Amino acid sequence: KAKFTVRSFKSTKANGRRISMLTAYDYTTACLLDETGVDCLLVGDSLGMVMLGYENTLRVTMDEMIHHTKAVARGSRNALLIGDMPFLSYHISVEETVRNAGRFVQEGDAEAVKLEGGQGMVDKIRAIVKAQIPVLGHLGLTPQSVNAFGGFKVQGKDFETARQIIDDALLLQDAGVFGIVLECVPDGVARLITEKLEIPTIGIGAGVHCDGQVLVIQDLMGMFRKMRPKFVKTYADGGDITVAAVKSYIKELRSGAFPAPEHSFPVDENVLAAL
Examine residue 45 and tell whether it contacts Na ion (CB under 5 A): yes
116 assigned to a ligand binding site:
yes
- Stretch 17-36: interaction string toward ligand KIV, x if CB under 6 A: ------x-------------
Of the listed pieces 20-28, 37-45, 162-170, 241-249, which binds Na ion according to CB under 5 A? 37-45
Instruction: Give residues 112-131 in contact with Na ion (rule: CB under 5 A).
Output: none
Examine residue 71 and tell whether it contacts ligand KIV (CB under 6 A): no
Examine residue 144 and tell whether it contacts ligand KIV (CB under 6 A): no
Shortest Cβ 182–ligand KIV spacing (Å): 9
Residue from 46, 69, 76, 213 in contact with ligand KIV (CB under 6 A): 46
187 assigned to a ligand binding site:
no
At 191, which helix (H) or strand (E)? Answer: helix 187-196
Asked whether 28 and 197 are in contact (CB, 8 A), the reply is: no
Residue 44, phi-psi category: left (phi > 0), alpha (psi -120 to 50), beta (remainder)? beta
Q: Is 107 annotated in the active site?
A: no
237 assigned to a ligand binding site:
no
Q: Which of 100, 83, 85 is nearest to 40 (CA)?
A: 83
Q: Which of 95, 183, 252, 269 is catalytic?
A: 183
At 274, which helix (H) or strand (E)? Answer: helix 269-274
**Size of the residue set binding Na ion (CB under 5 A):** 3
Q: Which of 127, 65, 64, 126 is nearest to 99 (CA)?
A: 127
46 assigned to a ligand binding site:
yes
Burial string for 96-133 (b: 16+ CB within 10 Å, else e) reads: ebbebbbbbbebbbbbbbbbbbbeebbebbebbbeeeb
Catalytic residue list: 183
